Each structure stands twice: as C-alpha cells, then as structure tokens.
C-alpha cells in the first residue's frame, strides 16, 4: 500500500543516522569451528538450551568446557569482511552492521554515564565459537562472557527470536545487543557476581534480578541513544518501543514455558517484568533506577 503507511514503515526501520564507515576496533568476526560435543538433541533440545541461555551470561555452565574441533574459519573471515565494510547507512539494513553500530552507540552512552567505563569486546560468529566461558554454538543465543568481557552474537538468532514471537524491527535487535552490554555494565559494577551468588532459579533469584537489571540498563541506553545533537540514533518512535516490548514479552519465562509456568523455575523474569524493567530504564534514563537487588517488587 502506498501512502503514509509505507512512509511509517520505512521510518520505523531507520534508526541510525549519519554516514560513512563505522569506526570501532572492538567488534570482530569469530567462530567457524565445530563444537566438539553439543549438548543438544533434536528440536526440543534446541529450544530448551536457548531458553536456559537466552540472553544469558555463561554458556560454560550449560555446555561444559568443550574443546572446539578444528574447523573452517571461513565463516569468521566472511563476517570480518562484512564488518570491515560496514557503514552507518548499512546499519539500517544489515544485521551484522547493525550490531556493530549499536556497540558504538552503547560505548558512547555508557562512557558518558559511567566514570571509568571500559568497553567490552564483541564477537559476531556463525555456527560455533570458542570463548573464555567455554565453547558455544548458535543454539546458545546471544550471551555475555564475564571471563573475557565479550558479548557474543550469532545473527541467525534473530530469525529464531522472530519465530518465538519477537519483533525483527531494528530497535528490537538493538535491545538484544544493549541487554548483553547491560551484563557488561554489571560485570563492572559487581552486580553480575552478586547475582550469581544469589541463586540461578526462582522469581526472586539472583539470576532474575540480573536479567531484569540488564533489560533496565538496555532501556537506559535507548533513552540516551537518540538524545542530543550528536545522537547516533534518530528519534525513537512509539512503534519502535512497541517492538522492543513485544520482544521482551516473547522471551519472558512464562511466555516460553507456557500455561502452568512455575515461577520457581524462572531465570529471566516474566514477560510483564521484562517489559516493565525495560520501561523503567527507558523512561528515566537513570541507571540508579535499575536496582533490581533493592526491591522484591520485581
Ligand atoms: Zn541476559
């Protein structure tokens, strides 16, 4: 359909403004080796693993310390080639470039907000990758490894996310990157270690507090990312925020577990909680509002 609807949709897909190459030395292509022993069965096993690690922090806990087999590194080389050619314009069309551009925006925002901020590394991989937290496969989903201060993304995850009911809108994908950066912030503040000491399951577990805080910190990024004359993001639209909320709800523990979901098994928080904490960060722009450890009203 021509007319305003088309214009709205196009506008909805544009997030980065600016032009030319994207300068950062912190994003690289990785992986390409085969994971020696993948703890996955068929389709059902795949889903369970993604659920356990979705936006998680440590594949080694689940996958063990598997040594990657010797494999082709052509995947890594291809991704690196694509990363090297990324421009800001391409970041609105291409997922790999979008991840790269988002990290630049995140580094800019967090270096403003956090004294002593040290940027993480980001690795974009295909199929499998060896990390400081053990070997991971595409089925791991995006994760942050505190041992090597690196966020890992397999772009094929975004197809999986859409199948789970998430949005494939650009801001929804950027939210995933910002969530993993949230774990990096938590690594710097000590919240990650604190959460890991407070248990990995249950509605008030350390894991749920860590994950909801990462959603909140992603919201804080979004608040600042389109703010000011040098903002890297064009003004965020209501539709784009809706796409993030849709995604946050799609990956809530109760959404994934379905009817009869038992909160005692939660690791990331419910759909409502995930959307709520992203909103707290997005509306306030204040990381101090993201203290999920200071309340039981999660
Ligand atoms: Zn997470």
Helix (H, G, I), strand (E, B) or coil at 172: helix
Phi, psi dihedral angles at 19 (to 5 degrees): -150, 165
**pLDDT at residue number 139:** 78
- In the reported structure, the alpha carbon of residue 277 is separated from the centroid of ligand 1 by a whole-number distance in angstroms of 13
- In the reported structure, the alpha carbon of residue 18 is separated from the centroid of ligand 1 by a whole-number distance in angstroms of 30
Is 19 inside a domain boundary?
A: no
Helix (H, G, I), strand (E, B) or coil at 201: coil
Is 4 inside a domain boundary?
A: no
pLDDT in tens, 45-65: 333 333 345 555 555 444 444
Is 296 inside a domain boundary?
A: no
Phi-psi region of 281 (alpha: psi -120 to 50; beta: other; left: phi over 0): alpha
**pLDDT at residue number 54:** 53
Of 297, 279, 278, 280, which is closest to residue 289 (Cα–Cα)? 280
Is 295 inside a domain boundary?
A: no
Phi-psi region of 119 (alpha: psi -120 to 50; beta: other; left: phi over 0): beta
- In the reported structure, the alpha carbon of residue 55 is separated from the centroid of ligand 1 by a whole-number distance in angstroms of 4
For residue 21, list its beta bridge partners.
87
Residues of the domain holding 271: 27-290
Is 55 inside a domain boundary?
A: yes
Is 273 inside a domain boundary?
A: yes
Instruction: Tell me the average pLDDT across 97-105.
Output: 98
Phi-psi region of 28 (alpha: psi -120 to 50; beta: other; left: phi over 0): beta
How far apart, in whole angstroms, are the C-alpha atoms of residue 24 and residue 140?
26
Q: CB within 5 A of ion ligand 1: which residues?
A: 55, 211, 214
Of 73, 65, 58, which is closest to residue 128 (Cα–Cα)? 73
pLDDT at 260 over 70: yes
Is 21 inside a domain boundary?
A: no
**pLDDT at residue number 57:** 52
Domain count, the chain: 1
- In the reported structure, the alpha carbon of residue 6 is separated from the centroid of ligand 1 by a whole-number distance in angstroms of 34
């Amino acid at each position: 359909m021509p007319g305003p609807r088309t214009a709205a949709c196009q506008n909805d897909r544009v997030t980065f403004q600016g032009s030319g190459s994207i300068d950062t030395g912190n994003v690289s292509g990785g992986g390409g080796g085969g994971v020696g022993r993948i703890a996955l069965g068929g389709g059902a096993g795949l889903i369970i693993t993604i659920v356990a690690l979705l936006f998680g922090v440590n594949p080694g806990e689940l996958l063990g310390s598997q040594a990657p087999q010797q494999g082709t590194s052509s995947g890594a080389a291809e991704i690196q080639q694509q990363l090297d050619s990324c421009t800001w314009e391409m970041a609105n069309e291409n997922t790999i470039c979008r991840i790269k551009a988002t990290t630049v925006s995140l580094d800019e925002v967090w270096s403003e907000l956090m004294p002593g901020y040290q940027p993480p590394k980001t690795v974009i991989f295909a199929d499998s990758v060896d990390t400081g937290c053990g070997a991971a496969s595409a089925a791991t989903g995006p994760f942050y490894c505190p041992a090597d201060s690196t966020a890992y993304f397999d772009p094929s995850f975004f197809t999986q996310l859409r199948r789970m009911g998430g949005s494939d809108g650009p801001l929804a994908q950027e939210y995933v990157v910002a969530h993993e950066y949230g774990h990096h912030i938590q690594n710097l503040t000590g919240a990650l270690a604190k959460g890991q000491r407070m248990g990995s399951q249950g509605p008030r577990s350390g894991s749920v507090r860590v994950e909801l805080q990462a959603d909140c910190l992603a919201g804080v990024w979004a608040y600042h990312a389109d703010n000011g004359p040098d903002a890297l993001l064009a003004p965020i639209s209501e539709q784009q925020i809706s796409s993030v909320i849709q995604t946050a709800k799609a990956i809530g523990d109760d959404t994934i577990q379905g009817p009869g979901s038992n909160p005692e098994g939660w690791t990331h928080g419910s759909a409502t909680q995930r959307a709520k904490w992203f909103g707290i960060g997005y509306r306030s722009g204040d990381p101090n509002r993201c203290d999920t450890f200071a309340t039981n009203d999660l």
